[in-house]
Structure 1
Amino acid sequence: MSITIGGGFHGSGGTWRDRIGKLPVQLAGQFAAERDRWLLWLPVLLGGGIGLYFLLPTEPSVGSGPVFLGGLAVAAIRFRQNKTVFILCIALAAIAAGFTAAQLRAHQVAAPVLPLRIGPTDVAGTVASVELREGGGRLILEDLSVRDLGPQSTPARVRIAVRTKEELPEPGDEVAVRAMLMPPPRPVAPGAYDFSRDLFFRGIGAVGYGMGTPKVILHAQPSFGETWLASLRQRITLRILDALTPPEAGVAAALLTGQRGHIPEDDMVAVRSAGLAHLLAISGLHVGLVAGILFFVFRAALALNERLALDHPIKKWAAVAALLGSLGYMLLTGATIPTQRAFLMLFLVLSAVLLDRTAITMRLVAWAALVVLLLRPESMLGASFQLSFAAVVALIAVYETWRVGRSNAARGKVRRLFGYVTGVGLTTLIASAAIAPLAAYHFNRLPVYDLLGNLVAVPVASLWVMPWGLAALALMPLGLEQLALIPMSWGIAAILWTAHAVASLPGAVLLVRSAPGWGLPLFAVGLLWLCLWRQRWRWWGIPVLIAALLTPMMERPPDVLADESADLFAVRGADGSLGLSTTSRNRFTAEAWLRRMGQDHAWGWRSDEALSQGMACDGLGCIIHLDGLEVAMVGDPRAYAEDCLSADLLVSAEPLGDACPHPRATIDRFDLWRYGSHAVWLTGNGIKVKTVDGHRGDRPWVVPPLPRSRLDELQ
C-alpha cells in the first residue's frame, strides 16, 4: 500500500478560496509523510473506544462491541484495495476494539455490590492482601461468608479497615471478624472521582471497618503465587518498620514494597507540595533505577574476570539479570499500572540489548500502552496511567527531536557532572510540563517549585537511596538488612528535609479549579498530536493545549452542594468563596469540595463572614440570595411553613414529601439518599440540578441504594 500525494504546506499563493481548496490535498500529503508514525495512533484510538464505553449513560448490550469490531474487520478486508476506506476501517476497528475490551472487562469482573449498610455482622473470609497503616491496617477479604447475606448477594471481595495494636493476619490466612459493611462510596459531587467504579474493577463490592482484631481461623498454607507475594511484601515491610524509626521507616517501606501507610501525613503533604510525590509512588523511575543498578553491578562484577569479559557477552548477561531483578521488584511492590508500563518498556529495551539493537523509540511506548489497555482498560481513567504515559511520551518526543549523537566518554568530570544536573533539570521540566495539567485535573493543585525540589531529591534517590535499598533486600535473607537500611535512611532524611524546605516557600502550591470533563480528552489530543507527529502540522497541538488549559475558566462552579448523607451542605458566596454548613463532620467531602473549587478555606454559615456574604441563619435553617433567587437551607421541618412560600430553591436535611409545592426546585434527605450528592446552578433563567447517579448513569458499578427494611431480600 502506498500514498504518493506530496507532503507539506507549500504553494501558499492564490486567493483564500484557492488555499481552502488545496487544504485537503495538503493534509493528505502531511498524513502520507507520517506513514511511519501511523502505528503510534493505534493505542490512542483504542483508548478512544475505552473512553466511549465509559461515557455511555447506559450499559450497552453484551454483543454490541464484538459485532461492531467484527463488522469493521470484514469491511477492512473487503475494501483493502481502497486505501482511504481501508485506513478508515482500521481506525474505526481500533476504536471498536477498545470499546469491546472495556465491555468484556466489565463483564469479567462483575460481582454483587452491597446496596445498603449492614452490621455489626460476622464476616469470614481469606485475606487477599494487607495494607499496613499506623495503628492497624486495611484487609481485603475474599471467598466470603457474611451472616446477613445469602451467597447470591455476597460480594466477591470486601475491604475492611482495622484499628489494633496486635499483629495483623497474613495474606492467605482464613479469618473471622465482626464488622460494619457499607456500599462502596459514591463520588462526592457530580463529575468527581468515582470510588465505586474503581472498587468494582478490583472486585470489591463493600467497604467497612472491623469492631475488633480479626481472629485467624486457619493459617495460610505454603504456596507460590499472588498470596505468597502479598505475604512476602507484608513480612518485608514489618522488618523495615522494625529496623528504622519514623518517618524514614515509612518512606523506606514505600520504596521497597509499595506500602505507604506508615508515612506521616505532614510528610506526605510536604512531599506533594514540593512536587516529589513521584519518588514515593512506585513508577517507571524506580523500575528504571532498579534495572540500571542491577545492570551496572552485574556487568562490573563480571568484568573483574578479564577472560570472562573478553570471551563472553557479559553485557547481555547483565541485561538478563537486570530484567529478572526488575520483574521481581515489580511483583514485590504490587505490579501497579506505572510499573507494568515501565517493565514492558524495559523488557523491549533490554531485549534490544540482547539483539544488539536500539529500542528507545515512541513505538516502544505504543506497544506498552496497547498491552496495558487491552488487559486493564479501566486503568486509562486513573491518574497513574495518564501521568506516567504523558511524561514518557513527552520525554521521548523531545529526545527524538533534539537528540545528539555525542558520547559522554570524551567529556571531563566537570562536564559530565554539569550534563547530569542539566539532564535532571530538563527531564523534570519536560515531565512536569506534560503532567501538570493532568495533576491539576485530578488533584486540583500544582507544585510551583517542583524543579528546585527534584534537582536535589532525584540525585539523592538515584545515587544513594535506591542502591542501599536494593542492598537491604539482598541482605534480608541473612538478617543483615540493617547494615543497608541505616545508610538508606540518611538519604531519605535528606529528601524529606528538601520536601519540607521547598513546601515552606511562599506560594509553593497553586490551587486550580476543576475543569469540565471534556477538558481532559482535549488536553490528551493536543499533547499526543504535538508529540506523535513529526511534520509541521504537529504544532497544531499547541493551540489545542492552550484551549485545554483554559477549560477550568469555561465552566462555572455550582452555587449549592448537598452531600448524600444530608449532614453537609455548601453554598458559593457572592465573591465565589465556599461556605459550609459544618466544619466538624464529613471533612473528607468538605476538603474535596474545596479542592474542586480551587480553594483552601471555607467560611461557616453562622460566622461573621456569612453575614457579609448575605446569609441569614436562625435555629431552623439559613436563607441566602444568589443571582436574584432565594435559597432556603432547612434543618428543621418547622421552617417549611415560611420558607416554602418564599424560596426559589429549598434544600432540606429532613424528608420533605409533598409539604412544599411552591419552590421551583426542592432537594430533601430522600433525594440525596436515592441519587447521591447534588450540585445546583442558579441563573436568571432558572435552576439547574445535577445528581451523582444521574451523571454516572445506569452502569454495572452503579447500584441503587436499598432500604434497610428490605434486607431480607439479600438473604
Structure 2
Amino acid sequence: MLWDRLIVEGRNLNRRLGKSGFLDRAFSRIRLFYLCVLCFGLGIATYFLPDYEPPEWIWLAIIGALPATLILSAGLMSLTRFVRFGAVLLLAGLFFCGFGFIKYRAENAGTVMLERELFGAPFKGCVAEIEPHRQGARLTFREVEVPWLGNGKTPSGLRLTTRQEDVFDIGDCIEGRAALLPSSGALHPDGYNFARQNYFRGIGASGFMMGDAEKIDAGGALVRGSLTEAWTRLWNGLRLDLIRSIKAYLPEDEQALVIVFLTGQKGKLTEQQQESMRQSGLAHLLAISGLHMGLLAGILFGGTRFMLALWPALALRYPIKKLSAVVAFAGCFLFLQLIGAPVPAQRAFIMIGFALGAILLDRNPFSFRLVFVAALGVMILAPEVVVSASFQLSFAAVLALVSFYQTIARADWVHRLKNAELEGRPGAVLSLLPGAVTGQVLWWLCSLFLCSLVASLATLPFVAYHFQNISLMGIPANMLAVPWTGAVVMPLVLVCLVALPLGMGEPFVRMLSWSLDQLLLIAEFFGAFSLGAVHVPPLGVEGLLLLLLIFLWLVLIEGPLRWAALLVVPFWAIRIVAQPQPVMLVDEKAKLIAFRDEESIVVSTLRSERFARNIWKDYWGSDQIIDFQKAAVTSERINCDPSGCLVHFDSPEQEEAFDVALSFSPNSLRQDCRNADLVIARYPVYRFSCEVPLFDRRVLGKTAGIALWPEDTGHSGYSITALNGKALEPSGEKRPWER
C-alpha cells in the first residue's frame, strides 16, 4: 500500500527509540484511502462554513487546477523520494474536489425558493408523495403553478398539510388554495438550517391547504416525467397503499409506530411518543438505519440459508451461502426503496451491499474499508448530508463499533469467555451460574452491553452538538430495547411486508402493534427518570471540529498512543463551558422575542410560534417559560406598558444596564430611541433616524432575525449577529437557499 511508504521514517524512528514497531502498530489501521475519504468530506463540510456563497472564481480555479494536481500527485507518489509530498498533494486535491463537488451540486439543484408569505394563494400541482400526519396528511407537489407569482418565482415544489386524508393518490393533479410559507433558516446560532434542507430536496415552500382541494386530472402525472421520476412515484404509491392497509387494520392511536417501522414515515407520531423515545435514548429506533437494515439482512440471510440447508440436494451442489447473500441484498434493496431511502438507510445499505458482496467473493465482509466506502458512496449521492445529524451519528457509531470489536477480538479474556465450560467442570468461568448458561451466552450478553455502551459514547458528543441534550438512560434502555427489536419487532416487520400485499396481513400487523407497544413501555419507563435527559451548552463549530479530531484519533489509532487523544478532552470541556451564549433571540418578524432571566425563559407570546419557541427552549435548556406580562410582575429585568417593553441587561463595561426597547407601537419609537441602547420594532419603520441601532420588521427580514451576545470588548459589552450566529451583513453573495 502507498501508506506503507508514508511511515518509512516512522519505522526508522522506532528503531532509534528502541521500540520496534510501536508507531507501526499505532498507525497500522490508517490507509491512504481513509485519508482521501476524510479529506473529500472535509472539503464538502468547509463549503457550508462561511455565511456567504464562495465566489465563482474559486470554482473556476478548482476546475482548472484539480486535474493537474491529481496527475502531479500520482507522478510524485510513483517516486520513492517524493511519495510523502505526492500523498499530501493528493489529499489537498481531494479536499478541493469535495469543495468543488458540493459547489456544483448547490448551483445546479435549481430549486426556486419562495420569497414571501402568501395566504389564500391559488395553486395547481401534481401529488408526488403522501405522508401520514397527525392532522391528516402531508402532500408533496411537483409541476407547481401559482398564478400570484410570476415566471421564475414559482416554488419548484410544495409541501402542504391537509385535513383531506385518503382523498388523493400519487400522480393526481389538483388545484386549491393554500397558505404558502418560505422555508426558515437556522433558528439559533449553529442551528439546523431548514431552508438548506428543503433546497436540496427540491421543496421551495411549505404550508397548509385552506379548504378542500379538487382533482383536475386523476393520475395525470403518472404518464409524464423521466424514468427516475416514474420509479419514485411507483414506490411512493406502494408506500401509500401499505399505510392505508395499516389504517384499515388498526385504531388510530396504534397506527403511528407501525407506520414508522414499516414505511419510515414519522408524521403520525404524537409529541408524547417522540419525547419518551428521546428522553430514554431510543429515538434512533424511529429512524430506519443500520440497526434495522442489519437485522433485516441478517434475518433474510440466516432464514434463507436455513431453508436451503433443509434441501440436501441443493445444499450439497450449490453455494447456498452465496445464494442467501443475493436474497438478503435484494430484500434490503426493496426495503430501502419502500422507506424512501433516508440517509442512514443509504449508508447501511451500501455497507450491507459490500459485506454481502464480500461473501460472494469469499472475502472478509467487516473492515474499516467497508465503512469508508459506504461514506464515500453517500457523499457522492448526496454530498449535502455531510453536515446533517443523521450522517454524523450513523458513521460515528459504526466506526466506533468496528474499532472496538477489532481491538477486543484479539483480547485473551474474550477467548476465555467464549470458550468457558459449563458449571461443575474444572476451571469453569461460570461456576456460580446455572449450568444452562454457557460462555457463549454470557459473551452475547456482554457484547450487547458493550455495543450499547460504545455506540452511545461515540454518538454522545454529536448528539450534544445537534440537540443540546444527552440521555443518561440510553445504555440500560438500549440493552432491553435493541434485543427486543431484533428478536421480535424486525421479524414481524418482515412478515408484515410479505403478508400485507397478499391481503393476509391483519393478524401480523396486530402482533407488530403489540410488540411496539412493549417497546414504547420501555421508553416510557426509562424516560421517566429525572436524569433521563441532561442539557449541554452549545458546542459551536470549533468545538465540533476538535471533537471530530479526538474521535478519529481514538478509532483509527491503535495501542497506547490512542489514549493520547484523551489529554485534549479537558481543554475541549473548558472550551465548551466558556462558550458564550446569546442572551436574547429575535425572529425575522419580531413575532417571537425571547431572553433568559435566571432559570426561566421569557417570551413575547405563548399563543403562536410554538415551533420556534420549543427549539429555543431546548437550545437554552430551560423548561420554565413565561410571557412578558407575567415577567413584568415577577422580575425586575423587564418593564412593560401597552406600547412596548424595556429589558435590562447587566453591562460589564458600564455602570448602567444595557437596555433593549421592544416597540409595539410607532407612537413610542422616539422615546425608545432616547432611552434604550437597542430598539426592536414589530412594524416597518420608514424615514426615521434613531440614535441607537434600530431593527424593524424590514431589517429583521433581511437578517432572518438577530441574536444579542455578551462580549468582553466594546463600549456596551454586547454585540449583535444574525439569528444563525453569522455576521449581519455577509461579505459576499447570498447562499442559493437564501436568494
TM-score normalised by structure 1 residue count: 0.91
Which letter does structure 2 place at the counterpart of 1:703?
E
* 2:135 is equivalent to residue 107 of structure 1: no
* 2:670 is equivalent to residue 645 of structure 1: no
The one of 685, 704, 709 aligned to 1:681: 709
How far residue 609 of structure 1 moved from its aligned partner, in angstroms, is: 7.3
How far residue 152 of structure 1 moved from its aligned partner, in angstroms, is: 2.4
The one of 286, 301, 310 aligned to 2:292: 286
CA distance in 2, matches of 1:27, 1:552: 37
1:263-278 map, 5 Å? 263-278=269-284
Counterpart secondary structure, 2:541:
coil
Per-residue CA deviation, residues 28-85 of structure 1 (Å, 9 max, x unaligned), is 9669954852321222111110111112322331423323422421331453331222
* 2:587 is equivalent to residue 563 of structure 1: yes
Per-residue CA deviation, residues 354-404 of structure 1 (Å, 9 max, x unaligned), is 122212011100111111112211011111111100000000010111114
Which letter does structure 2 place at the counterpart of 1:60?
P
Q: 1:122 to 1:30 in 2, by over 3 A?
A: same
Instruction: Name whichever of 676-685 and 90-99 sits farther off.
Output: 676-685
Counterpart secondary structure, 1:625:
strand
The one of 56, 63, 66 aligned to 2:63: 66
Asked if structure 1 preserves the Cα contact closer than 8 Å seen for 2:44 and 2:383, the reply is yes
Counterpart secondary structure, 2:494:
helix
Which letter does structure 1 place at the counterpart of 2:719?
K
How far residue 285 of structure 1 moved from its aligned partner, in angstroms, is: 0.5
1:213-612 map, 5 Å? 213-220=212-219, 221=222, 225-404=231-410, 406=415, 414-415=437-438, 416-534=440-558, 536-573=560-597, 575=598, 577-607=600-630, 611-612=634-635
Instruction: Name whichever of 451-460 and 628-637 sits farther off.
Output: 628-637
* 2:215 is equivalent to residue 209 of structure 1: no
Identity %: 31
CA distance in 1, matches of 2:29, 2:272: 51
CA distance in 2, matches of 1:651, 1:152: 34
How far residue 251 of structure 1 moved from its aligned partner, in angstroms, is: 0.7
* 2:40 is equivalent to residue 46 of structure 1: yes
Which letter does structure 1 place at the counterpart of 2:366?
I
Asked if structure 2 preserves the Cα contact closer than 8 Å seen for 1:6 and 1:26, the reply is no
Which letter does structure 1 place at the counterpart of 2:698?
F
CA distance in 2, matches of 1:610, 1:396: 57
RMSD value, Cα: 2.7
How far residue 270 of structure 1 moved from its aligned partner, in angstroms, is: 0.5
Instruction: Name whichever of 201-210 and 213-222 sits farther off.
Output: 213-222
CA distance in 2, matches of 1:518, 1:610: 40
How far residue 292 of structure 1 moved from its aligned partner, in angstroms, is: 0.7
Counterpart secondary structure, 2:738:
coil
Count, aligned residues: 691
Q: 1:145 to 1:625 in 2, by over 3 A?
A: closer
CA distance in 2, matches of 1:95, 1:26: 34
CA distance in 1, matches of 2:626, 2:143: 47
Instruction: Name whichever of 590-599 and 335-344 sits farther off.
Output: 590-599
Which letter does structure 2 place at the counterpart of 1:193?
Y
How far residue 154 of structure 1 moved from its aligned partner, in angstroms, is: 2.2
Counterpart secondary structure, 2:466:
helix
Counterpart secondary structure, 1:63:
helix
CA distance in 2, matches of 1:693, 1:267: 29
Equivalent in the alignment of 1:703 = 738
CA distance in 1, matches of 2:565, 2:129: 43
Per-residue CA deviation, residues 75-123 of structure 1 (Å, 9 max, x unaligned), is 3145333122201111101101111210111122123222122242222
Asked if structure 2 preserves the Cα contact closer than 8 Å seen for 1:7 and 1:33, the reply is no
Counterpart secondary structure, 1:5:
helix
Equivalent in the alignment of 1:709 = none
Asked if structure 2 preserves the Cα contact closer than 8 Å seen for 1:330 and 1:340, the reply is yes
Q: 1:583 to 1:448 in 2, by over 3 A?
A: same
How far residue 200 of structure 1 moved from its aligned partner, in angstroms, is: 0.5
Asked if structure 2 preserves the Cα contact closer than 8 Å seen for 1:516 and 1:551, the reply is no
How far residue 153 of structure 1 moved from its aligned partner, in angstroms, is: 2.2
Equivalent in the alignment of 1:160 = 160
How far residue 546 of structure 1 moved from its aligned partner, in angstroms, is: 4.7
Asked if structure 2 preserves the Cα contact closer than 8 Å seen for 1:30 and 1:537, the reply is no
1:617-628 map, 5 Å? 617-626=640-649, 627=651, 628=657
Per-residue CA deviation, residues 173-203 of structure 1 (Å, 9 max, x unaligned), is 2222221222222222343211001101011
Per-residue CA deviation, residues 186-231 of structure 1 (Å, 9 max, x unaligned), is 2223432110011010111122211133322223348961100001
CA distance in 1, matches of 2:695, 2:26: 57
Which letter does structure 1 place at the counterpart of 2:437?
V
Asked if structure 2 preserves the Cα contact closer than 8 Å seen for 1:169 and 1:214, the reply is no
Q: 1:121 to 1:620 in 2, by over 3 A?
A: closer
CA distance in 1, matches of 2:419, 2:720: 65
How far residue 649 of structure 1 moved from its aligned partner, in angstroms, is: 1.8
CA distance in 1, matches of 2:399, 2:285: 19
CA distance in 2, matches of 1:345, 1:427: 18
Equivalent in the alignment of 2:9 = 5
Which letter does structure 2 place at the counterpart of 1:674?
K
Instruction: Name whichever of 81-90 and 175-184 sits farther off.
Output: 175-184
Per-residue CA deviation, residues 511-535 of structure 1 (Å, 9 max, x unaligned), is 2222212222221121112112225
Asked if structure 2 preserves the Cα contact closer than 8 Å seen for 1:634 and 1:651, the reply is yes
Which letter does structure 2 place at the counterpart of 1:75?
L
Asked if structure 1 preserves the Cα contact closer than 8 Å seen for 2:580 and 2:710, the reply is no
CA distance in 2, matches of 1:284, 1:159: 28
CA distance in 1, matches of 2:139, 2:419: 52
CA distance in 2, matches of 1:430, 1:28: 26
Asked if structure 1 preserves the Cα contact closer than 8 Å seen for 2:107 and 2:736, the reply is no
How far residue 501 of structure 1 moved from its aligned partner, in angstroms, is: 1.1
Which letter does structure 2 place at the counterpart of 1:73?
L
What are structure 1's unaligned runs of at least 5 residues?
14-21, 705-715
Asked if structure 1 preserves the Cα contact closer than 8 Å seen for 2:599 and 2:624, the reply is no
Q: 1:321 to 1:35 in 2, by over 3 A?
A: closer
Per-residue CA deviation, residues 242-276 of structure 1 (Å, 9 max, x unaligned), is 21234432111111111112222211111111111
Asked if structure 1 preserves the Cα contact closer than 8 Å seen for 2:26 and 2:558, the reply is no
Q: 1:71 to 1:550 in 2, by over 3 A?
A: farther
How far residue 643 of structure 1 moved from its aligned partner, in angstroms, is: 2.6
Equivalent in the alignment of 1:669 = 697
Q: 1:594 to 1:160 in 2, by over 3 A?
A: same
Which letter does structure 1 place at the counterpart of 2:249?
A
How far residue 308 of structure 1 moved from its aligned partner, in angstroms, is: 1.9
Asked if structure 2 preserves the Cα contact closer than 8 Å seen for 1:116 and 1:182, the reply is yes
Equivalent in the alignment of 2:427 = none
How far residue 608 of structure 1 moved from its aligned partner, in angstroms, is: 5.3
CA distance in 2, matches of 1:552, 1:158: 39
* 2:200 is equivalent to residue 196 of structure 1: no
Counterpart secondary structure, 1:181:
strand
Asked if structure 2 preserves the Cα contact closer than 8 Å seen for 1:196 and 1:701, the reply is no
Equivalent in the alignment of 2:142 = 142
Q: 1:51 to 1:31 in 2, by over 3 A?
A: farther
CA distance in 2, matches of 1:373, 1:421: 35
CA distance in 2, matches of 1:594, 1:609: 20
CA distance in 2, matches of 1:92, 1:194: 28
CA distance in 1, matches of 2:624, 2:26: 54
Counterpart secondary structure, 1:114:
coil
Asked if structure 2 preserves the Cα contact closer than 8 Å seen for 1:243 and 1:482, the reply is yes
Counterpart secondary structure, 1:348:
helix
